[in-house]
Amino acid sequence: MKSRSYLGLGSNLGDRLKNLRSSVAELCRHSGILIDLKQDVASIYETSPVGISAIQPVFLNSAVCIRTSLSPGRLLDALQAIEVRLGRAPDSHNKPRTIDIDILIFDDLVCADESLIVPHPGLHVRRFVLEPLSEIAGEVIHPKLGSTITDLRCNLAREDEVQQVSRVYGPDAITPVMTTDEHPTPNEE
C-alpha cells in the first residue's frame, strides 16, 4: 500500500448511520484499500445541508484515512462502485443520497481533470468536512493552500458560524465488525 488518501463520507437518505457503516465495511473489503479501524475513522457529525436546497434532510458526515495501491482514477472508480452498490442514484448530485464518498486529499497530489479534482475543491470551506477530517488528519498540510487541516478548521470556525455541525457519535459507531476472513491481507509493495 503506497499512497495515503483521506475520504469524506456523507449520507442524508435512509438509515444514515447504517449507510456510513456499510461504506466503511465496503472500503475494508476492497483488496486495494487498507484502513486501520482503530485510528483512521473519525467521529460522525450531523450537519445541515450547505449550498443546496434547504429542504433536504440533514446529513451525517465523517472522514476516513486509507492506504491504497490504487491510482487516484482507479480509487475514484472503486468509490463510485461502492456508492452504486449502497443505493446511490446516478443523478443524485446536490440531491438527497444514501452515500457520498469523496476523495479529499491523495498524498500531496494536486490535479484537475474532467473526472477528478484533488485536493477536493470545497475542502477548505466546508466545516462538515473539516471537523471530522481534523480528528484524523489535523497536522496534514493541504497540498495547495499550505495550511494544516486544523488551521483551516480553526480559521473557518471563526469566519463562518452558519454551517451547523454537531458531533453525534464517536468513531466506533461506523466501525464495522470485521472477521479476519472478511478483510483481505494487503499486498506490501
Residues designated as active site: 88, 97, 100, 102
Helix 149-159 and helix 127-137, axial crossing angle in degrees, nearest 10: 150
Distance CA 125, CA 159 (A): 10
Query: Are 109 and 118 contacting, i.e. CB atoms less than 8 angstroms apart?
Result: yes
CB neighbour list of residue 97: distance below 8 Å, 6 or more residues apart: 10, 11, 12, 13, 83, 88, 89
The position carrying cell 475543491 is: 121
For residue 44, list its beta bridge partners. 169
Distance CA 31, CA 54 (A): 38
Residue 89, all three cell numbers: 442514484
Query: Are 21 and 162 contacting, i.e. CB atoms less than 8 angstroms apart?
Result: no
Alpha helices in 4-126 (DSSP H): 16-29, 72-85
